[in-house]
Amino acid sequence: MIRRRRADAGDGPPLWVDGAAVPRPPLDGDTTADVVVVGGGLTGLWTAYYLLDADPALDVLVVEAGVTGQDERGVGACSARAGLTADALAARHSRTAAAHARALLRDAVVEVGGVAAVEEIDCGFAFGGELVLAADDDALTRLERQAASAQRWGDETHVLDAAGLRERVLVDDAVGGTWSPEAARLDPGRLARGLAGVLVARAARIADRTPAARVVDQAVVTPHGTVRAATVVDTRPEAPELRAWAATLATAPLPDATWARIGLADAEVLAHGDGLRVVRTPDGRLVAGRARPGAPRLVRALDALLRPPASATALHDLLVDLLPVLTDAPVTHAWLRPLAASGALPSVGHVPGATWARSGGTGPAAANVAGRTVAELITGTASELATAPWVRRA
């Protein structure tokens, strides 16, 4: 299921696309701005949002290669997860840096929900936390160790026995699991489009279908003109051609009787050690996708994961293996989702000749951290974000 992106992989439009959305006009000739943000994904939108929050007088221009808010490809989860555990962060940086990073990512989940509420962005944000399943005793032992480690870093994680797990989700072969409150469900497309609307209302400019052909210090060259700005923030992912992609699918809205046999009544994000992630959407669909696997599951599941060409059909087999009640559930959307690189973290820099903000591909919370941090570096706002271990400064 994890593979390099290919045209024959059944990569259709994500569930989160709004078919009625009208693209904003592209750039119309050369222009200037105080800050130009390259990339209209969530990281770029958060960057522009916090720039204007700090200084409403700034002239901010966002240039997007596609259509802003129409290429969000996640599963619909917003969590404090990162590509490195706190223990690994401590080994790479320090214990203080690791604790600081974990606190920032936890707070970012709350921040995303808070902004959605304040700005009245209807993105279905719901704090349900994250459930992680254990299919056998060895997996449960690993989760217990991880929970103990997480708690040492301030991450609230509760170990559940089989009965406790069944109060939240009905998975027959699970022997237990963990639950953490530090995750939420949302519609990333509606969040992105809502943020874009807020920006335009605050006099920011957004140019869709305006790819950056060249990004240099204080200038962005596009096919439609050159933008000159005091600060250029590049929020595009690094080396997109090298990214791995995974199948993701969404069912039709499921009847209440089906949800009664699944659970997730509080909009919990469901995860499994093999990398499967499941989300209940605001309109009662189920979205499933793959992250990078942690531990192997059943032979049948591995069979599905390794079967070429790693399609949405293989993902569906894995999902039905976990939740047989979905055997006949109609699948309405199937798309490819970029996977975060192993060990990925947000990356933010504000150094002579270059300013950038990237989420690391780990989701909306990391995008919020990256955008908020680079905005503070640009505006000179002092906060704990500037001392995060992923920040590079002059």
Domain-located, residue 381? yes
pLDDT at 290: 82
Domain coverage including residue 204: 14-74+188-241+343-393
What pLDDT tens digit does each residue of the chain (394 aa) get?
A: 333 333 334 579 999 999 999 999 999 999 999 999 999 999 999 999 999 999 999 999 999 999 999 999 999 999 998 888 899 999 999 999 999 999 999 999 999 999 999 999 999 999 999 999 999 999 999 999 999 999 999 999 999 999 999 999 999 889 999 999 999 999 999 999 999 999 999 999 999 999 999 999 899 999 999 999 999 999 998 776 667 888 999 999 999 999 999 999 999 999 987 778 999 999 999 999 987 554 444 444 444 444 433 467 888 888 999 999 999 999 999 999 888 877 789 999 998 889 999 998 889 999 999 999 999 999 999 889 999 999 987 6
Nearest Cα to 205, choosing from 30, 19, 37, 374?
Answer: 37
- In a domain, residue 136? The reply is no
Establish if 164 belongs to a structural domain: no
Query: The domain that contains 208 carries what CATH number?
Result: 3.50.50.60
| CA–CA gap between residue 134 and residue 137 (Å, rounded) | 7
Whether residue 43 is contained in a domain is answered as: yes
Q: What's the Rg (C-alpha) of the chain?
A: 21
Listing DSSP states for 1-28 in one string gives -EEE--TTS-----TT--TTPPPPPPP-
> What is the rounded distance in angstroms from the CA atom of residue 33 to the CA atom of residue 229?
5
- Which amino acid, 67? V
**338 lies in a domain?**
no
Beta-carbon contacts of residue 169 (< 8 Å; ≥ 6 apart): 131, 133, 262, 263, 264, 268, 270
Structural domains of the chain, count? 1
179 in a structural domain: no
In a domain, 268, yes or no: no
3-state secondary structure (DSSP) of residue 364: helix
pLDDT of 294: 46
- pLDDT at residue number 83: 83
Q: Is residue 363 part of a domain?
A: yes
